[in-house]
A and B are shown apart, each in its own frame.
Chain A
Amino acid sequence: MAALYAQLLVGLINGSFYALLSLGLAVIFGMLNIINFAHGALYMMGAFCAYFVLSLTGLGYWWALIIAPIIVGIFGMVLERTMLKWLAGLDHLYGLLLTFGLALIIQGVFQNFFGSSGLPYAIPDELQGGMNLGFMYLPIYRGWVIIFSLVVCIATWFLIEKTRLGAYLRAATENPTLVRAFGINVPRMITLTYGLGVGLAALAGVLSAPINQVRPLMGENVIIVVFAVVVIGGMGSIMGSIVTGFALGVIEGLTKYFYPEASNTVVFVLMVLVLLVKPTGLTGRAA
């Protein structure tokens, strides 16, 4: 029984990453109708940023949590301004292809300079050690991951769904012309939104650096699981992505306990099942 709880808790930790990443994806897709294939690469950049902030300036983890999302977010906004804008009137598939190509470039460049092995990033001193929960020994850092992602997810949801800025963002996606008529700078909103989504990815990267080591390919495989999460949760639904992200992490943990061989595939099998029953995902809107 203890083993089951332990795997569930590990699953919740993984779910935190899924939730944070799918949140970023959902924000970008919901607002911009772009599938951001580069999300995994940007997550990786966040982790590398944290590593460099530490090695070049000596500023530690807590600073990295703020600096890395800002730097990578700005990078994302530059990408949006220079490249994604060109594709505004075209088929959305072009956006997918463009971001896929960007991911290849970013990952390839990092791989060239850093190889495929990981660079170490230490757990910050304040979060070292662990707590004996009885059924397992939980490293404090991993507990922090769960709490922090929960807070960020809820804060983002609140920002988008309940504040005025969020209202402008949502309106700008649904009817850009009308919103522009109200005097709101729509292109700037779009750029900012992309920056926000990218920043969330980078934040997940910083969070993941002490656990997963800083590696150029760290985003590659997790991103496809996150795509599946977003498809299940409903593309464009913020709350859907958050809930599905955590839930799928837990389900994966359960599978690891009962039937480990299927733990990699359970997310995709669930996706197929959900699609057969409800093609728009659990909470998504039809597009």
Chain B
Amino acid sequence: MTALTDDTLATTPGAMRDEMIVFAIMAVLLAAVPFTGIYPFFVMQALCFALLACAFNLLIGYGGLLSFGHAMFLGTGGYVTGHFLKVGAISLPYWPGMWFTIPFPPFSPEMAIIGGTAVSCLLAVITGYVSIRRQGIYFAMITLALSQLIYFIYLQAPFTHGEDGIQGIPQGKMLGFLDLSNTTVLYYVVLVGFLAGFLLIFRAINSPFGEVLKSIRENEQRAISLGYKTDHYKLLAFILSGTLAGFAGSLKVFVAQNASLTDVEVAMSGLIVLMTLVGGLGTVFGPVVGAFVIIAMQQYLAGFGQWVTVIQGVIFVACVLLFRRGLIGEIAHLLKRSL
């Protein structure tokens, strides 16, 4: 059985240097955006999704696990951060339907982000423990069902306001002085968040941990016979992926100023898969490119209504049948470099 990422090139010695150069170019290009006429709001959204897609890619591209439920982390990061920013109170359930509330005043942005990311991490630990037992399609199905479970919980939970979502989330001042309601300041904060998350993933991939992950993906039995506790490594990758996805969700709340059910739907999980597929599963920069392509498409084709869904479906089918390496994957293959 050909694995999903068998087409990605193995890392060559010059690969890391290539990747660092591309990273630097990407960072400079993104930093220059406020000085061009491009609508910064669109780029900020794309950055959040790019980080989300990179987090997802960590799991599939290097861990070999296709998660169809990453929306649950995006949504959790968003809802928790949004709630902390707007209301602040922490409600803990002590019985189904009964909540015990600790009233806090609204949090500052950095505490809200930490809170959102922490809760996503906790969710990743719990869901990872349940899902890691299986792999391949079973793993995908389980993550799908778990994310639907989370969707229904959020639909009912009072703090999310169900269909109405959390609206009018204040942006506040990061670290006391960075006024996030200023679009340019917000842009650079989001950019820094994205680059930091990206570098973290990059570091994880190119570390002993990453090497073990890759070996598990190639041949799990062999890795086990070499003495590695493969389940632990896979769980760690899942937790890292989920936490960073939650972080992306937290950032997105500052951009959109609302948190809603759309972020936890199955369609969102599908969108994440699509972004990574288009960009190139298992490539370093593929998810970023894929995210920008898909978000741009949604933005500029918005007038076409539901044809956008059809186009996304067609891209899905085309990528799976013909274009399995994705955009960056094909470029990398042509240039015989690792991207």
Direct A/B contact, Cβ within 8 angstroms: yes
Do B307 and A108 have beta carbons less than 8 Å apart? yes
Do B152 and A265 have beta carbons less than 8 Å apart? yes
CA distance A87 to B319 in the complex (A): 12
Query: Which chain B residues lie closer than 8 Å to A224 at the CB level?
Result: 144-145, 148, 266
Binds A, one of B40-48, B134-142, B164-172: B134-142
Do A102 and B309 have beta carbons less than 8 Å apart? no
Number of interface residues of B (CB under 8 A): 47
Query: Which chain A residues lie closer than 8 Å to B321 at the CB level?
Result: 83, 86-87, 98
Query: Which chain A residues lie closer than 8 Å to B309 at the CB level?
Result: 104-105, 107-108, 111
In the complex, whether B273 has a CB less than 8 A from a CB of chain A is yes
Do B305 and A98 have beta carbons less than 8 Å apart? no
Task: Give the distance to chain B from A86, nearest Cβ to Cβ, in Å.
Answer: 6
Task: Give the distance to chain A from B151, nearest Cβ to Cβ, in Å.
Answer: 9
Task: Give the distance to chain A from B1, nearest Cβ to Cβ, in Å.
Answer: 5
Task: Give the distance to chain A from B308, nearest Cβ to Cβ, in Å.
Answer: 8
Do A279 and B2 have beta carbons less than 8 Å apart? no
Number of A-B contacts (CB under 8 A): 133
Do B136 and A92 have beta carbons less than 8 Å apart? yes
Task: Give the distance to chain A from B300, nearest Cβ to Cβ, in Å.
Answer: 17
A112: contacting residue among B146, B270, B307, CB under 8 A = B307
Binds A, one of B114-122, B255-263, B310-318: B310-318
Cβ-closest chain B residue relative to A38: B313
Do A96 and B133 have beta carbons less than 8 Å apart? no
Query: Which chain B residues lie closer than 8 Å to A261 at the CB level?
Result: 96-97, 156
Do A90 and B317 have beta carbons less than 8 Å apart? no
CA distance A252 to B117 in the complex (A): 33
In the complex, whether A103 has a CB less than 8 A from a CB of chain B is yes
CA distance A56 to B289 in the complex (A): 46
Do B4 and A93 have beta carbons less than 8 Å apart? yes
Report if A227-B141 is in contact (Cβ < 8 Å); known contacts: A97-B277, A100-B316, A272-B146: yes
Which A201-228 residues sit within 8 Å CB-CB of chain B? 220, 224, 227-228
Task: Give the distance to chain A from B293, nearest Cβ to Cβ, in Å.
Answer: 16
CA distance A83 to B314 in the complex (A): 12
Which B294-339 residues sit within 8 Å CB-CB of chain A? 305-317, 319-321, 324
In the complex, whether A287 has a CB less than 8 A from a CB of chain B is yes
Cβ-closest chain B residue relative to A89: B2
Query: Which chain A residues lie closer than 8 Å to B130 at the CB level?
Result: 272, 275-276
Task: Give the distance to chain A from B228, nearest Cβ to Cβ, in Å.
Answer: 21
A102: contacting residue among B2, B97, B148, B313, CB under 8 A = B313
In the complex, whether B153 has a CB less than 8 A from a CB of chain A is yes
B313: contacting residue among A103, A231, A271, A279, CB under 8 A = A103
Query: Which chain A residues lie closer than 8 Å to B149 at the CB level?
Result: 265, 268-269, 272
A90: contacting residue among B1, B152, B316, CB under 8 A = B1
Report if A109-B66 is in contact (Cβ < 8 Å); known contacts: A98-B320, A104-B270, A268-B146: no
In the complex, whether A264 has a CB less than 8 A from a CB of chain B is yes
CA distance A55 to B321 in the complex (A): 36
Known: A92-B136, A108-B313. 16 other contacts (CB 8 A): A35-B140, A89-B2, A93-B137, A97-B273, A98-B321, A102-B317, A104-B312, A105-B309, A108-B307, A108-B309, A112-B310, A224-B144, A224-B148, A227-B141, A261-B156, A264-B156
Name 24 A/B residue pairs within 8 A (Cβ), A-sorted: A90-B1, A91-B136, A93-B137, A97-B320, A98-B317, A100-B270, A101-B314, A101-B315, A101-B319, A104-B310, A105-B309, A108-B308, A108-B310, A224-B266, A227-B145, A228-B145, A231-B142, A261-B97, A264-B152, A264-B155, A268-B148, A269-B149, A272-B145, A276-B130
Identify the 10 closest CB pairs spanning chains A and B, nearest first: A101-B316, A104-B313, A108-B309, A105-B313, A108-B310, A268-B149, A264-B152, A101-B317, A111-B306, A265-B152
